[in-house]
């Protein structure tokens, strides 16, 4: 790293209040135009470190360099021109106006005996008030504003200092979601545009992970790790530092990790009731399975597609002439009509008559799998010949449910889909189902749907490939149920 690129260099610093050092032997460096986050549990010394960096507290041992110069050599005004601080709390005894408050940010730039306020100062004050969106109420008193508005006024004051470094202590504390995002977006933009170096204390690990280039994790005043968010926000590390159980997941839209808490009441192991045929109900035109606790589900259903937690599983019969133009909304209406919550339901459709459904409970070692299949082969095709089947979406023809009484990993969900699909294809070949168009053996139909769900309790099932215990049971279950469903379909068509 080049010397010039280093904005703040903290070298083995120990410091805090009088006798008891709170920060112990912490080293770090912040690069120019970096968005640097400081995280850690309560009492870990985040605020103390910020006070050491802003020279509010003296360093006991070690050294802090700011833009290549020792922090202690800066005169107060010089320091204020280089670094502005947005504090967590600000006392307001007297009701200053927004304009007066922001103007104070120019203090460090005013020279001469009378500290006169120049035209340039005025322009900068107006400019930062526009940037932070407080210009419209510049004549309002601070105590008339909401917490979020006040926070922006103090941000404007800090920016009026025209600093190279902005130090923030939990800047999003009193802000609602939109303001949090707005504030951090603006700060991020300024770092990206090479205008500002930002150091911020974060309470919210997810926000820290989303916006920071690097994170410093403190515990008991010590540097645990200082690295990229992906490295710092490791599940095991955070569980150890914060002393609580968490789960980590990728953010749905951006490649950043997100941390989730696991509430004690919900995670407590209730003696699980086995998911099996006794829960399956045929009501009117749907097969409905309700589980006592939500199941983690990965599916290509109409409602509840993707990854989620659901308690209701529906396979609904619709006529061949069903209008598919807005099937999702229609499906939601249908579920609500049936008294089911669409947010709690993974729902599929099929043109197959539900009497043809085949299902069964398959036992493994310490776990079991309940499989339900409805199979119609009107649209059966060879997967490699798909382009010849130009047909709009019609309701699924082979719908497969695999409900696992066990604790599955993300990877075993994916493996289970592969295994189940292969088992289905094998069953189609066994039953000699043909692609009517090309005359090849069919591998599936044009609109098959699959659902894998697990109770996430009991035996941990890491793999679901064909030779793993779970894979073996899934393969057998799907194969047998698909064969049976195809037979039912044949018999039914034969009869009618």
Partner 1 sequence: MFSKTRRIAAYPLLVIALVWAVLMGISIGTVHIPILSVVNIIWSNIFQTPLAAHVADMHENIVMNIRLPRVVLSGLVGASLAIAGAAFQGLLRNPLADPYTIGVSSGASVGAVLTLFFNLSLPFIGLYTLPVVSIMASFITIFLVLFFARQVDRTMRVETIILTGVIFSSFLGAMISLMIALTGEELRQIIGWLLGSVAMRGWEYVGIILPFFIIGTVILLLHAKELNAMSFGEDQAKHLGVNVERKKLNVLIAGSLLTGAAVAVSGTIGFVGLVIPHFIRILWGPDHKHLLPLSILAGAAFLILADLVSRIIIAPAVLPIGVITALIGAPIFALILMRRRFERS
Task: Determine, following the binding rule CB under 8 A, whether residue 105 of this chain makes contact with partner 1.
Answer: yes
Candidates 88-96, 318-326, 421-429, 435-443: pick the segment binding partner 1 (CB under 8 A).
Answer: 88-96
In angstroms, give the least distance from the CB of 87 to partner 1. Answer: 6
Q: Which of 259, 247, 260, 262 is nearest to 209 (CA)?
A: 259
Residue 338 near residue 286 (C-beta atoms within 8 A): yes
**HEC string of 458-474?**
CCEECCCCCCCHHHHHH
Other CB atoms within a 10 A radius of the CB of residue 250 amount to: 10
Task: Determine, following the binding rule CB under 8 A, whether residue 319 of this chain makes contact with partner 1.
Answer: no
Among 66, 84, 199, 478, binds partner 1 (CB under 8 A): 84
Site string for partner 1, 30-59 (x = CB under 8 A): ---------------------x--xxx---
Candidates 32-40, 137-145, 238-246, 462-470: pick the segment binding partner 1 (CB under 8 A).
Answer: 137-145
Task: Determine, following the binding rule CB under 8 A, whether residue 111 of this chain makes contact with partner 1.
Answer: no
d(CA 453, CA 309): 9
Site string for partner 1, 160-189 (x = CB under 8 A): -x----------------------------
Among 11, 29, 60, 97, binds partner 1 (CB under 8 A): 97
Task: Determine, following the binding rule CB under 8 A, whether residue 75 of this chain makes contact with partner 1.
Answer: yes
Task: Determine, following the binding rule CB under 8 A, whether residue 159 of this chain makes contact with partner 1.
Answer: no
Task: Determine, following the binding rule CB under 8 A, whether residue 19 of this chain makes contact with partner 1.
Answer: no
Residue 349 near residue 318 (C-beta atoms within 8 A): yes
Question: How many chain residues interact with partner 1 (CB under 8 A)?
Answer: 39
Task: Determine, following the binding rule CB under 8 A, whether residue 20 of this chain makes contact with partner 1.
Answer: no
Candidates 30-38, 72-80, 392-400, 433-441: pick the segment binding partner 1 (CB under 8 A).
Answer: 72-80
In angstroms, give the least distance from the CB of 109 to partner 1. Answer: 8
By CB under 8 A, the residues from 192 to 231 that bind partner 1 are none
Task: Determine, following the binding rule CB under 8 A, whether residue 76 of this chain makes contact with partner 1.
Answer: yes
d(CA 333, CA 339): 10
Task: Determine, following the binding rule CB under 8 A, whether residue 119 of this chain makes contact with partner 1.
Answer: no
Strand partners, 350: 317
Residues that bind partner 1 (CB under 8 A): 18, 51, 54-56, 75-81, 84-85, 87, 90-97, 100-101, 104-105, 107-108, 110, 113-115, 139-141, 157-158, 161
């Amino acid at each position: 790293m080049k010397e010039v690129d280093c904005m703040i260099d903290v070298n083995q610093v120990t410091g805090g209040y009088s006798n008891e050092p709170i920060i112990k032997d912490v080293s770090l460096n912040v690069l120019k135009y970096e968005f640097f986050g400081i995280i850690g549990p309560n009492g870990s010394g985040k605020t103390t470190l910020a006070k050491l960096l802003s020279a509010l507290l003296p360093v006991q041992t070690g050294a802090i360099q700011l833009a290549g110069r020792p922090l202690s050599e800066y005169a107060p005004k010089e320091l204020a021109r280089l670094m502005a601080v947005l504090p967590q709390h600000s006392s307001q005894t007297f009701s200053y106006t927004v304009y007066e408050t922001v103007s104070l940010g120019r203090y460090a730039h005013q020279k001469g005996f009378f500290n006169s306020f120049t035209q340039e100062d005025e322009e900068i004050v107006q400019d930062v008030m526009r940037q932070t969106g407080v210009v419209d109420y510049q004549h309002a008193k601070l105590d008339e504003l909401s917490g979020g508005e006040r926070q922006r006024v103090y941000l404007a004051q800090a920016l009026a200092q025209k600093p190279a470094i902005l130090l923030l202590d939990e800047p999003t504390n009193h802000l609602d979601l939109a303001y949090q995002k707005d504030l951090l977006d603006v700060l991020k933009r300024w770092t990206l545009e090479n205008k500002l170096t930002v150091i911020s204390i974060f309470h919210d690990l997810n926000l820290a992970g989303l916006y920071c280039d690097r994170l410093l994790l403190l515990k008991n005043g010590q540097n645990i790790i200082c690295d990229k968010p992906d490295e710092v926000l490791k599940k095991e590390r955070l569980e150890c530092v914060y002393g609580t159980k968490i789960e980590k997941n990728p953010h749905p839209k951006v490649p950043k990790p997100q941390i989730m808490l696991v509430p004690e009441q919900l995670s407590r192991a209730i003696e699980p009731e086995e998911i099996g045929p006794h829960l399956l109900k045929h009501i009117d035109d749907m097969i409905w399975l309700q589980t006592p606790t939500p199941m983690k589900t990965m599916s290509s259903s109409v409602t509840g597609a993707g990854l989620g937690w659901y308690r209701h599983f529906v396979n609904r019969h619709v006529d061949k002439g069903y209008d598919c133009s807005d099937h999702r909304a229609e499906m939601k209406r249908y579920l609500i009509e049936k008294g089911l919550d669409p947010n709690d339901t993974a729902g599929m459709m099929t043109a197959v008559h539900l009497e043809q459904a085949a299902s069964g409970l398959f036992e493994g070692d310490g776990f079991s799998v309940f499989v339900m299949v409805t199979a119609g082969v009107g649209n059966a095709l060879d997967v490699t010949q798909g382009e010849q089947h130009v047909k709009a979406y019609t309701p699924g023809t082979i719908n497969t449910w695999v409900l696992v009484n066990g604790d599955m990993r993300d990877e075993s969900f994916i493996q289970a889909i592969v295994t189940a699909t292969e088992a289905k294809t094998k069953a189609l070949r066994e039953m000699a189902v043909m692609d009517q168009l090309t005359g090849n053996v069919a591998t599936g139909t044009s609109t098959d749907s699959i659902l894998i769900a697990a109770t996430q309790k009991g035996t941990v099932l890491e793999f679901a490939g064909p030779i793993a215990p779970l894979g073996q049971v899934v393969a057998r279950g799907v194969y047998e149920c698909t064969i049976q469903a195809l037979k039912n379909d044949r018999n039914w068509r034969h009869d009618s």
